[in-house]
Amino acid sequence: MSAKGLLDRYGVSLRGLARRNRLRSLGPRAGLDFASNDYLGLAGSEGTAAAVATALANGTTVGATGSRLLRGNAPEHAALEAKAAGFFGAEAALFFGGGYIANLAVLTTLPRKGDLVVLDALIHASAHEGARAGHAHVVTVPHNDADAVDGAIARWRAGGGTGHAWIVAESLYSMDGDRAPLNELARVADRHEAFLFIDEAHATGVYGPDGRGLAHRYEGRENVVVLHGCGKALGASGALITAPGILCDYLVNRCRPFVYATAPSPLMAVAVAAALDIMTHEPERRQRLQDMVALASGKAQALGLKASGSQIMPIIVGDNRGAMVLAGRLQARGFDVRAIRPPTVPEGTARLRISLTLNVEKPDLLALLDALSEEWPR
């Protein structure tokens, strides 16, 4: 068989995506930033850069050189984990290379055979894939429906389920910008003696005292595990899992994505630790962002658009091609806004995902929303 024949099926798949307006390609950074997750503007902050430069000057290596269980366990990793555990109010923390791998790691390791994992329908793809790659039974429930979670666990118990249930939710959803009913989910978890795994990727740094997230009041409980993304508001990369110490020890011993992966760069650990300090000492960053959210909400409502009340503002267009065309028009006017299409969001809900960050000013935001109203009259 020729090389061309070997590759034909991939071309067929790509052409199918193109026909459905779902073909993706890599695009450059261009225009005003309304697409990134750098909510507090820390990715390019002087404080983070200075901390990394000092670490380099003091001999911190760029590469980790191996897995954490070999020579890759740098003092910077341990220092960050101790700092993060104290900052978030947990017994222990473990640093992973990214949020995707952290979700995959937790959900393939901690829920065990005979357990139940209950997923919110709109949770990150990495959580869905991690749960299905694990050993527990998995069910998906309607978005933000605590009663449906309760019912799923009750039916599982009635059907003979004898393990532990794991309730998995984002505290702030990445594509809709809405909050999970954490109080209700915590009560369900307590009622069923279940675990609650909260993905704080888009809330860490933005909400809670000193930016400790929407789940801060639950940190430290023996049945709560939290993921704090480090590549969004913290402006670096990686993810922190905070949990009871015994669960972190279990991950170190049993979690294949941790045991067999090269450790994150020690410099990223330094950058994340610096970001935690900045969040504590510069609360005005969170206030400026909340001022942007309030401005966007008021302007959106005046234009007849739905406001999420968070820094993530979805503009639901519906069809894939329409979302791509609208994004292209705004990009041509100097605004970096991206279209989000299935399977990232449900069919028929293609959208623009407008992200508010401190990388733009209020006049830029008002100009974007005016441009949106001109290019997409309602």
| pLDDT at res. 28 | 84
Structural domain span for residue 355: 283-375
Is pLDDT at 304 greater than 90 in this prediction?
A: no
Active site (annotated) includes residue 129:
no
Residue 299 and residue 265 share a domain: no
Is 128 part of any domain?
A: yes
d(CA 14, CA 376): 29
Torsion, Cα of 86, 92, 96, 98 (10° steps) = -60
Strands 92-96 and 350-355: unpaired
d(CA 197, CA 138): 14
Contacts of 52 (CB under 8 A, 6+ apart): 267, 270, 271, 274
Largest CA distance in the chain: 63
Averaged pLDDT score across all residues of the chain: 95
Residue 271 and residue 304 share a domain: no
d(CA 15, CA 45): 42
Residue 263 and residue 166 share a domain: yes
Residue 104 and residue 238 share a domain: yes
Residue that the structure tokens 């100009």 belong to = 367
Which of the residues 33, 150, 170, 336 is marked catalytic?
A: 170
Residue 226 and residue 95 share a domain: yes
Amino acid at position 290, single letter = Q
| pLDDT at res. 378 | 63
Is 273 part of any domain?
A: yes
Is 196 part of any domain?
A: yes
Active site (annotated) includes residue 202:
yes
Residue 275 and residue 297 share a domain: no
Is 13 part of any domain?
A: no
Q: How is 43-58 classified by DSSP, letter by letter?
A: TT-HHHHHHHHHHHHT
Q: What does each C-alpha distance from 260 to 52, 67, 230, 256, 285 come to in angstroms?
A: 26, 6, 21, 6, 38
d(CA 274, CA 235): 10
Instruction: Answer yes or no: are the C-beta atoms of 279 and 40 closer than 8 Å.
Output: yes
Is pLDDT at 348 greater than 90 in this prediction?
A: yes
Name the token pair of 317. Answer: 């267009």
Is pLDDT at 291 greater than 60 in this prediction?
A: yes
* Residues above pLDDT 90, as percent of the chain: 90
| pLDDT at res. 24 | 85
- The residue among 242, 257, 280 that closes a domain is 280
Is 27 part of any domain?
A: no
Residue 146 and residue 80 share a domain: yes
The model's confidence at residue 302, banded by pLDDT at 50, 70 and 90, is: confident
Instruction: Answer yes or no: are the C-beta atoms of 362 and 295 closer than 8 Å.
Output: yes
Is 2 part of any domain?
A: no
Active site (annotated) includes residue 126:
no
Which of the residues 199, 200, 219, 336 is marked catalytic?
A: 199
Per the structure, the count of domains in the chain is: 2
Which of the residues 33, 37, 81, 359 is marked catalytic?
A: 37
Residue 210 and residue 108 share a domain: yes
Residue that the structure tokens 């922190």 belong to = 240
Span 64-72, mean pLDDT? 96
| pLDDT at res. 210 | 96
- The residue among 257, 280, 303 that closes a domain is 280
Active site (annotated) includes residue 223:
no
What are 194-244's pLDDT values in tens digits? Answer: 999 999 999 999 999 999 999 999 999 999 999 999 999 999 999 999 999
List the CATH number of the domain containing 259. 3.40.640.10
Which of the residues 174, 265, 308, 310 is marked catalytic?
A: 174
Contacts of 125 (CB under 8 A, 6+ apart): 343, 344
| pLDDT at res. 303 | 82
Instruction: Answer yes or no: are the C-beta atoms of 296 and 365 closer than 8 Å.
Output: yes
| Contacts made by residues 368-374, CB under 8 angstroms, sequence distance 24+ | 368/32, 368/34, 368/330, 368/335, 368/337, 369/296, 369/299, 369/300, 369/303, 371/330, 371/333, 371/335, 372/303, 372/305, 372/315, 372/326, 372/330, 373/303
What SS3 state is found at 121? coil
Span 145-162, mean pLDDT? 97
Span 101-119, mean pLDDT? 97
Residue 101 and residue 87 share a domain: yes
Is pLDDT at 287 greater than 60 in this prediction?
A: yes
Is 363 part of any domain?
A: yes
Span 341-363, mean pLDDT? 95
Span 354-376, mean pLDDT? 95
Residue 334 and residue 186 share a domain: no
| pLDDT at res. 371 | 95
Span 145-172, mean pLDDT? 97
Which of the residues 164, 202, 228, 299 is marked catalytic?
A: 202
Active site (annotated) includes residue 190:
no
Which of the residues 77, 124, 192, 299 is marked catalytic?
A: 124
d(CA 212, CA 199): 13
> Phi and psi of 213, rounded to 5°?
100, 175
Instruction: Answer yes or no: are the C-beta atoms of 360 and 32 closer than 8 Å.
Output: yes
Residue 182 and residue 62 share a domain: yes
Q: Which of 50-89 are b and which e, b meaning 16 or more Cβ less than 10 Å from the residue's Cβ?
A: ebbeebeeeebeeebeeebeeebbbebbeebbebbbebbb
Is pLDDT at 353 greater than 70 in this prediction?
A: yes
Residue 289 and residue 276 share a domain: no
Is 148 part of any domain?
A: yes
Where does the chain have alpha helices with state H?
3-19, 46-57, 75-88, 99-109, 125-133, 146-158, 182-191, 245-254, 256-259, 266-281, 284-302, 320-332, 362-375
Residue that the structure tokens 């005292």 belong to = 209
137-141 sheet: strands from edge to edge: 92-96, 239-243, 224-229, 195-199, 165-170, 116-120, 137-141
- The residue among 224, 258, 280 that closes a domain is 280
What are 232-285's pLDDT values in tens digits? Answer: 999 999 999 999 999 999 999 999 999 999 999 999 999 999 999 999 999 999
The model's confidence at residue 51, banded by pLDDT at 50, 70 and 90, is: very high
Active site (annotated) includes residue 124:
yes
What SS3 state is found at 257? helix
List the CATH number of the domain containing 287. 3.90.1150.10
Active site (annotated) includes residue 13:
no
Is pLDDT at 1 greater than 60 in this prediction?
A: no
Q: How is 69-119 classified by DSSP, letter by letter?
A: TTTT--HHHHHHHHHHHHHHT-SEEEEES-HHHHHHHHHHHSS-TT-EEEE
